[in-house]
Amino acid sequence: MTGAVRDGRTVAQRMRDDILALVKAEDLRPGDRIPTEAELKERFGGSRPTIREALKLLEQDGVVDVAHGRGRFLTAAGTLQVHRPITRFESITAMGGALGYSYENKVVSLSETTPDRVVAAALRLENGETAIRLERLRLLGGEPVIYCLAWVQRRVVPRRLYEVDWGGSLLDLLEGFGSRPRMSAATVRATVLPPDVAERSDLRDFGPALVIEETAFTQAGHPVIRAADYHKGSHFAFDFARK
């Protein structure tokens, strides 16, 4: 079974990212052959199964093509370099840290309650089953720049709410309970904060926002988080590649 590292990527995903960094560092062009499994093992170490899994991920992403008997070759899509793409699944804490930001996290509210039908369906809750509702603000230099609303499956947090530190990464928190999310289905749209949120949290001057609404799943495909993160439009832009 593939192991995991603290930032949430599996060992194979980390190897995949190392190979992508190598592609960039060596300025490979479409049609160039990428290093063989043996060459990658010599450069990065790791096991052959992990390297093969990383290469398979690159194939699935359309970064490399396989020519049987000849090797693996970089595609045109593989030369598109996008810094911290929006398609990368990671926590806000990790994303901010990679960009040099250190957020101050403020818990606005925390409760166990029955969510609405949309959230219940996303988390595949049984009728009447409760979830943890968590509201937080991420501050940068004392200024609120992200408003976060998350619903977490209650059954994956086997402790009393007050016994848990809710100020950090939810992904890291759930990892401690054996239910770390590894992927999500998400949508992004332009909007403004809901009026009741702006009024209740004194965020009337928050302005336009980019909201990422997503359901996060474990490696086994179980939904554990339903979240809506409102990023202040004056502070954020997201990158992606279109293929």
Position with higher pLDDT, 185 vs 101: 185
Does the pLDDT of residue 8 top 50, yes or no?
yes
What stretches of the chain show up as alpha helix (H) in DSSP? 11-25, 37-44, 48-60, 92-98, 117-122, 170-175, 195-200
Is the Cα dihedral 197, 106, 137, 203 positive or negative?
positive
User: 119 with 226: CB under 8 angstroms?
Assistant: yes
Which of 87, 78, 74 lies closest to 31, judged by CA?
74
Which of 144, 110, 121, 134 lies closest to 215, judged by CA?
121
The domain locations on the chain are 11-79, 92-232
User: 121 with 39: CB under 8 angstroms?
Assistant: no
Which amino acid is it at 27? Answer: D
Q: What is the pLDDT of residue 133?
A: 98
Mean pLDDT of the chain: 88
Model confidence at 75, in pLDDT bands (50, 70, 90)? confident
Tens of pLDDT along 167-211? 989 999 999 999 999 899 999 999 999 999 999 999 999 999 999
What is the CATH class of 11-79? mainly alpha
- Report the alpha-carbon distance of residue 52 to residue 65 in Å, rounded: 14
- Report the alpha-carbon distance of residue 239 to residue 234 in Å, rounded: 15
Q: Which CATH architecture has domain 92-232?
A: 3-Layer(aba) Sandwich (3.40)
pTM of the predicted structure, to 2 decimals: 0.72
